């Protein structure tokens, strides 16, 4: 699958944020391999290193992965939770904490609203450079389902306030 590849009406382009600050290289590589195994061909952004947000902790590796899927939001989210769990994700009472793996469905086609209990598109797209920058890298002309702006334009606006992110030369599984 490549950006702009033809898709049938039942298939949606989905974007997933991927992050880790515990055993980062192994966790990110494992997540990409598992996502490919579950969903097939992937579009993979560059990897960025960013400081932990919301808590004191080691820096994160972050990227965005795109795929085409005909699965429901609930089914995709269950697969993401299963992959997190397989990589040792511990869920505690604190929302912001160290983690081996954090996988979040950002978009499900151009859907907007609460679907299967999940608010889409995720507000993190417009809040965090570590989500928007990799998304703008791989989907610059795609439009945010609510604002209608391209991800490249949104990043250009955000970059004025946040500056650049540190890109990491991390080889990922093919």
The mean pLDDT value of the chain amounts to 88
**Is 91 contained in some domain?**
yes
**Is 58 contained in some domain?**
yes
**Which CATH number belongs to the domain containing residue 98 in this structure?**
3.30.70.560
- Are 67 and 50 contacting, i.e. CB atoms less than 8 angstroms apart? no
**Is 27 contained in some domain?**
yes
Q: Give this prediction's pTM.
A: 0.86
Average pLDDT of span 75-104: 83
The domain in which residue 117 lies consists of 12-122
Specify the number of domains making up the chain. Answer: 1
What is the pLDDT at residue 1? 38
**Is 113 contained in some domain?**
yes
**Is 137 contained in some domain?**
no
The answer on pLDDT for 141 being more than 80 is yes
What is the pLDDT at residue 94? 63
Task: Find the range with the poorest average confidence among 20-29, 69-78, 114-123, 165-174.
Answer: 165-174
What is the pLDDT at residue 8? 46
**Is 33 contained in some domain?**
yes
Taking CA 152 as the corner, what is the angle to CA 18 and CA 158, rounded to the nearest 5 degrees?
Answer: 80
Task: Find the range with the poorest average confidence among 25-29, 54-58, 78-82, 129-133.
Answer: 54-58
Phi, psi of 118 (to 5 degrees): -115, 125
In whole angstroms, how far apart are CA 170 and each of 57, 69, 141, 174? 21, 26, 25, 12
What is the pLDDT at residue 114? 94
- Are 100 and 91 contacting, i.e. CB atoms less than 8 angstroms apart? no
**Is 4 contained in some domain?**
no
**Is 174 contained in some domain?**
no
Q: How confident is the model at residue 172 (pLDDT cuts 50, 70, 90)?
A: confident
Predicted confidence (pLDDT) per residue in 6-27, tens digit = 444 489 999 999 999 988 999 9
């Amino acid at each position: 699958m490549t950006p702009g590849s033809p898709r049938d009406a039942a298939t949606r382009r989905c974007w997933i944020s991927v992050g880790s600050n515990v055993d980062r290289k192994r966790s990110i590589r494992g997540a990409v391999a598992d996502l490919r195994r579950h969903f097939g061909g992937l579009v993979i952004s560059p990897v960025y290193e960013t400081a932990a947000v919301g808590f004191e902790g080691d820096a994160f590796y972050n990227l965005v992965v795109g795929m085409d899927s005909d699965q429901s939001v609930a089914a995709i989210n269950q697969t993401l939770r299963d992959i997190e769990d397989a990589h040792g994700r511990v869920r505690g009472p604190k929302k912001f904490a160290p983690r081996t793996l954090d996988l979040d469905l950002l978009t499900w086609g151009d859907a907007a609203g609460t679907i299967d209990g999940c608010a889409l598109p995720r507000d993190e797209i417009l809040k965090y450079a570590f989500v928007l920058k990799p998304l703008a890298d791989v989907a610059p002309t795609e439009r945010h389902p609510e604002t209608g702006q391209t991800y490249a334009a949104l990043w250009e606006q955000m970059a004025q306030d946040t500056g650049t992110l540190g890109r990491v030369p991390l080889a990922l599984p093919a």
